[in-house]
Amino acid sequence: MVFKAEQQHFPGVKPIKKRDKKDRRGDGRKAIVALFTITVLASALFYLQAEAPRIWEKITAPRVISRLPKEHFDPSPVLDQIRDLTQDLSGTYGVYVYRFQDREDYGLDERKVFPAASLNKLPVMIAAYQLAEQGKINLETEYVLKETDKVQGAGVLQSKPAGTKYTYHQLIEYMAQYSDNTAFKVMRQVTEETTLDQATPEEIGILFKKLYEGESINQEHRDELLQFLTNTGFEDRIPKGVPEGARVAHKIGTLPGVYSDAGIIFAEKPFVLVIMTKDTREVEALEVLPKITRAVWEFETASP
* Domain termination site, one of 155, 174, 196: 196
Residue 97 lies in a domain: yes
Residue range(s) defining the domain that contains residue 145? 118-196
Considering the domain architecture, whether residues 179 and 213 belong to the same structural domain is answered as no
Q: What is the pLDDT of residue 195?
A: 73
Considering the domain architecture, whether residues 203 and 240 belong to the same structural domain is answered as yes
Calpha distance 10→274 (Å, rounded): 115
Residue 61 lies in a domain: no
Residue 60 lies in a domain: no
pTM of the model: 0.76
Considering the domain architecture, whether residues 176 and 242 belong to the same structural domain is answered as no
**End-to-end C-alpha distance for the chain, whole angstroms:** 114
Residue 67 lies in a domain: no
Would you say 186 and 217 are in contact if contact means Cβ atoms under 8 Å apart? no
Q: How many CB atoms lie within 10 A of CB 271?
A: 25
CA distances in angstroms from 194 to 13, 38, 82, listed in the order given: 121, 89, 33
Q: Which residues contact 209 (CB under 8 A, 6 or more apart)?
A: 98, 100, 215, 272
Considering the domain architecture, whether residues 183 and 210 belong to the same structural domain is answered as no
Considering the domain architecture, whether residues 174 and 267 belong to the same structural domain is answered as no
Q: What is the pLDDT of residue 193?
A: 77
Considering the domain architecture, whether residues 97 and 165 belong to the same structural domain is answered as no
Quote the number of domains for the chain: 2
Considering the domain architecture, whether residues 112 and 130 belong to the same structural domain is answered as no
Q: What is the pLDDT of residue 72?
A: 75
Considering the domain architecture, whether residues 161 and 286 belong to the same structural domain is answered as no
Residue 87 lies in a domain: yes
Q: What is the pLDDT of residue 194?
A: 73
Considering the domain architecture, whether residues 104 and 204 belong to the same structural domain is answered as yes
Q: What is the pLDDT of residue 53?
A: 56
Q: What is the pLDDT of residue 73?
A: 82
Residue 52 lies in a domain: no
Residue 124 lies in a domain: yes
* Domain termination site, one of 142, 170, 196: 196
Q: What is the pLDDT of residue 30?
A: 63
Phi-psi sector, 262: left (phi>0), alpha (psi -120 to 50), beta: beta
Considering the domain architecture, whether residues 84 and 137 belong to the same structural domain is answered as no
* Domain termination site, one of 196, 212, 233: 196
Considering the domain architecture, whether residues 137 and 279 belong to the same structural domain is answered as no
Would you say 101 and 300 are in contact if contact means Cβ atoms under 8 Å apart? no
Write the CATH number for 93: 3.40.710.10
Considering the domain architecture, whether residues 103 and 203 belong to the same structural domain is answered as yes
The torsion angles phi and psi of 36, rounded to 5 degrees, stand at: -65, -45
| Mean per-residue pLDDT pooled into runs of 10, the chain (304 residues) | 42 47 56 57 56 52 45 88 96 97 95 96 96 96 95 92 96 96 95 86 97 95 96 95 96 96 96 98 97 97 81
Q: What is the pLDDT of residue 27?
A: 59
